[in-house]
Structure 1
Amino acid sequence: MDNWNMEKALELFSKLITGESVSAKDNTDLYEEYNSNMEMYNIFGSMIDKLNLTLYQHKEALYITAGEKNKVFGYTNEELRKMLGLKVNKELYTCYFIIYNIITLFYKDSSSYTFQEYIKIEDVLRSVDGSLSSIISKLDVIAKNELEENSFNAIAVLWEELPLTHSNELVVNTRAYKGSKLGYIKIVFNFLKDQNLFIEVEERYYANDRFKALIENYFEDFRGRLYEIMSEGGLN
């Protein structure tokens, strides 16, 4: 194995895993090596496969993300609960469901490759209300097992009990409380901004290129059981 190619593969990995931009504009030499040097490409591909990572290429830029159940480079449920200020998994699953609705608002499927320019909090509120109501109405048909049924029922009960806003909330500012529907959405928005996936301009939220790469490849490669449920509920 060529030591130079190994060093370049390690350098590329180091840049991406620490959040540096590797594209046609930034760290151009590494980006060009990845696209033109087959040996370096194969070494890097083998590295991320073994580390359970996924590489996305979007608009002449490379992005890396943790694979499913990656406990080293990803987050556990416990870690995410702490980051989001949540106590129990049903609260976390509600946030997951909100994130899924955000994804579908930006990008419906892979047939058009067209992204919504921006979304607002009220768009997500309507989407979560509508999609959850549709799923619950068909849950006895859609759910494959008791665990799925109980999980969605728990989310639905939590969401239904929440008021639209909370008296202590500052929804339009940076603080967010889990005492209301808008509070949960704001918690998720803040998390996505902290993860460098969102750009906020005057209460409009734009997906940056990294988030677009993740969304596009989600529909191409993963989708998963939640996608099946949403589709069976007539929501995709």
Structure 2
Amino acid sequence: MMDNFVCRAEKARREYNGCGYAQEELLPGADAVNAKFYRCSLRAGCSVTPELDQEKITILIFNGKTGYITTPYDLYNVTEPSFFIPDFDRVPYTVHAVEDSEFIRAVFSMNQWDREFYEKWNLHLPFFSKYSDGVQYDQDCKGPNTRSYSILQPFQLGHVSIGVVKAIGEGTDEKGHGLLHQWNYCLGNSDFDLTVEEETEPQKPGDWSFIYAGKDHKLLAKPGKEVFYVWVEYFTDEDLQKYYLCQIHNGSLTEAQD
């Protein structure tokens, strides 16, 4: 069953074109939220200029291999796992690989609530962040030495939020949340177990997985092993206004759901 929800890096089909670029669609969970996910591979010394989209949110998740991103106005160095969100179709950008690199390109449709909220308040784009520049936070479902980083917080951009978890010999043991679908992208020297309900699968660098909303899940490493992953969460409800109002008044999203 888990095979339907995990895309293993070792099985990736990297069919490079003449420009040293390969792209493979990752299907798990995409149909649940009207999104598209792609594993993008770029050979050292090569570059790619991704297509722009006027109406959809595009997020690039870099695995940390050395490279850089250029726009007509800025240059962003990728020296660790990093994130880039273009300004829709307003500013073209090019990804350059200094060494063989990989990134996930996630494309999310915007519904009516997303568009209306964006017109009133939005994250400034283009956006770039290294994972280590994220806001560190603690959570009761994680081990005492597990480090968590918030990259894109809820309500900053559509239905999407993003963070990073890193630890040695521990990780995350979380009850399912009916409000949130979750995808995970393994980084660094990841060597841990992903358990969803009663099924467990080993995870290695580059693996991509999907956890359906409401499913209890664990991402735990054995002693001496690393858990290091990006999580991407997506709200299941169409209209998020009550959750947004609840959060700004320091309420619980679960209470708002009820």
Q: Does TM, scored on the shorter chain, surpass 0.5?
A: no
The structure richer in strand per residue is: 2
The structure richer in helix per residue is: 1
Larger Rg: 1
Q: TM-score, normalised by structure 2?
A: 0.27
